[in-house]
Amino acid sequence: MKDSEGNHSQASEIAGSPFHYDLTRRITHDLKAPIRQIIQLTDMLIEDNEGGLDEESVQTLNMMRERADKMGHLVEALRSLSNSFCRPLEMQNVVINDILADALNDSNLQPESLDLGEPMEIWTDREVSSRVFNNIFQNFLPPSEEWDRARFLLKLHKNPENDPALEIQIPDYPHEIKEKIGLVDYAAHGRQDLMQILLLAESAEAANRLGWKVFLHTGNKKDLLLNVYF
């Protein structure tokens, strides 16, 4: 989307179903309490029986706590995904440079090269836009530990149609992606972490609602490119 008049936009606003949003909100809310109680109970058992539990019992309780904690994060991710699908958008003119800078600060990532250029305004929902880039910067990880997540280049520029566009370049990406793919396909590209898949899927759906085009590829080079056209 380009401006408040909707010029150069190829996306229509999808408000989603209020019923589905409310149902998901209620379910995720009701799941929070029992998950929190499991975590508190395992902590209590370990603390109250310190020194009285054998190693296997301690390992079992720690595993229960770890899995309950992970389930809590998944519930939050599901709630956030529901927001991306169903929450009505609050569109306004926003300086995209500021959103990118804030998302980078939140992720504690420092790109090798950062070029945000002059301030550029886009017609978007500030909260949803922030979620997209927070998720991308914090979960934009290949399925291989050999990749150095701190090595990337980020550039905000104008495309040939004079619209804002973002390019993130990751040098020496360990896998080849010849065809352009979206975030959802990338999220499932050899990943096993359901949390990362959910968060990147949320970003893909949110970007789609905002009318953004997002795709990734390596082409004939070893660098992975993520392009966002606003």
pLDDT in tens, the chain (230 residues): 444 444 443 333 333 455 556 667 677 778 888 888 888 888 888 888 877 888 888 888 888 888 888 888 777 767 766 666 677 888 999 999 999 988 888 876 677 777 888 889 999 999 889 888 888 887 665 544 444 555 678 889 888 888 889 988 888 777 788 788 888 787 666 555 666 777 777 788 888 888 999 988 886 677 888 899 99
pTM flag (> 0.75): no
What is the separation, in whole angstroms, between the first and last Cα of the chain?
Answer: 6
Which contiguous run of DSSP H or E holds residue 170? strand 164-170
Instruction: Name the phi and psi angles at 110, rounded to 5.
Output: -125, 105
Q: Which of 96, 196, 72 is nearest to 138 (CA)?
A: 196
Per-residue pLDDT at 7: 44
Strand positions, DSSP E, the chain: 91-95, 113-115, 121-125, 153-158, 164-170, 213-217, 224-229
Per-residue pLDDT at 121: 92
Q: Which of 202, 213, 222, 226 is nearest to 154 (CA)?
A: 226
C-alpha 37/C-alpha 54 separation (Å) is 23
C-alpha triplet 200, 206, 212: angle, nearest 5°: 105
Per-residue pLDDT at 93: 94
> CB–CB of 224/177 below 8 Å?
yes
Per-residue pLDDT at 177: 81
Please, which residues bridge with residue 216 across strands?
181, 226
HSE-CB for 23 with a 13 A CA cutoff: 5
Per-residue pLDDT at 188: 67
> CB–CB of 86/17 below 8 Å?
yes
User: For the chain, what is the radius of gyration of the CA atoms?
Assistant: 21
Report which residue type is found at 152: F
Residue the block writes with tokens 């990751």: 170
